[in-house]
Amino acid sequence: MSTSASPAGDVVVHSDADVLAAATAARLITALTDAQAARGSASVVLTGGGTGIAILEQVRRSPAKDAVDWSRLDVFWGDERFVPADDSERNEKQAREALLDHVPVDPARVHAMAAADGEFGDDPDAAAAAYARVLATVASGADAPTFDVILLGLGGEGHTASIFPDTPAAHEAERSVVAVRDCPKPPPTRVSLTFPAIRRATEVWLVTAGAAKAGAVAAAHRGVGEVELPVAGARGTGRTLWLLDTEAATELPWSQRV
Ligand SMILES: O=C1O[C@H](COP(=O)(O)O)[C@@H](O)[C@H](O)[C@H]1O
């Protein structure tokens, strides 16, 4: 493992994707336990994607998961693929199978985004507006909670959550949640938190593995703008932490990897 800091955030590089997932799971358990010790409850925003789901599987396998009081945890999603509830592409379904179905969460505190066959029908704008209301309700009047940890994946073209490069979502400065259409990565219709909501988090963790992500990781650390490269716009009020495997870190300048 190596660590370093850059204006884009702190960087931790693990030897491979499996170590990254296991180490991030341990880090997440500790962060949630610390938040609950300090304030009685905790909140986490989950991500979809290969690394995000692998982290949840590692949490499930860890005996240390019993240190978390799962009944005092609010669970949110950073983005959702707008597909039917039983579609295997759905981030919520994957997260439930990987972890949430295996720990005693309070169902009332698991705040999933609506599915395409849910109460808003095939209307992602209505689903996004409803999720914004959920965030405001949990936040007791603010637009969104001050999440303890947001986990975010990223795409090789620079998207994070479902904020894709040079799209309206990347310009959104008011709403906390938006519908996203015509995504370059399938499925094409999604619901996503925006930068204003993401930036209310205390800690933003950008988690990714593989050589396909190396260019986007390096570009964010070179200072490319957030409209062109949305992952560059994800930051926390307390800490922005890049959790990478060696392959995802290969294009970072040497000085940022050691
Ligand atoms: O579609 C999505 O992909 C990204 C990244 O996924 P990965 O498998 O390439 O790591 C993820 O962050 C996002 O939540 C998800 O909806």
In whole angstroms, what is the distance from residue 26 CA to residue 132 CA? 30
Tell the residue nearest (CA) to atom 14 of ligand 1.
48
Helix (H, G, I), strand (E, B) or coil at 170: helix
List Cα–Cα distances, 27 to 21, 37, 95, 96, 203, in angstroms.
Answer: 10, 15, 18, 20, 12
pTM reported for the whole predicted model: 0.96
Q: Could you check whether the bond before residue 187 is cis, i.e. omega within 30 degrees of 0?
A: yes
Ligand 1: distance of its center to the CA of 217 in Å? 14
- Can you give the pLDDT at residue 189? 97
Mean pLDDT within 113-119 = 97
Task: Please tell me the least confidently modeled range out of 103-117, 226-240, 243-257.
Answer: 243-257
Q: Give, as one character, the DSSP assignment of residue 221.
A: H
pLDDT at 1: 80
Give me 123's structure tokens: 């209307």
Q: Is any atom of ligand 1 closer than 6 Å to the C-beta of 49?
A: yes
Position 2 confidence tier, pLDDT thresholds 50, 70, 90: confident
Q: Is 155 in the pocket of ligand 1 (CB under 6 A)?
A: yes
Q: Could you state, in order of their start, the residue ranges of all structural domains in the chain?
A: 2-227+234-250
Q: Which residue lies with its CA nearest to atom 12 of ligand 1? A: 153
Ligand 1 close to Cβ of residue 145 (< 6 A) = no
Residue that has been written with the tokens 């698991």 in this structure: 110
Average pLDDT over every residue of 39-67: 98
Question: What is the residue with the minimal CA distance to atom 16 of ligand 1?
Answer: 48
Placement of tokens 């990781």 in the chain: 217
CATH number of 2-227+234-250: 3.40.50.1360
**ipTM of predicted complex:** 0.97
CA distance 246 to 94: 25
Q: What is the largest CA-CA distance in the chain?
A: 51
First to last CA, the chain: 9
Calculate how far, in angstroms, residue 60's C-alpha sits from the geometric centre of ligand 1. Answer: 20
The atom of ligand 1 lying closest to the CA of 78 is 14
Nearest-CA residue for ligand 1 atom 1 is 49
Flag whether pLDDT at 256 surpasses 60. no
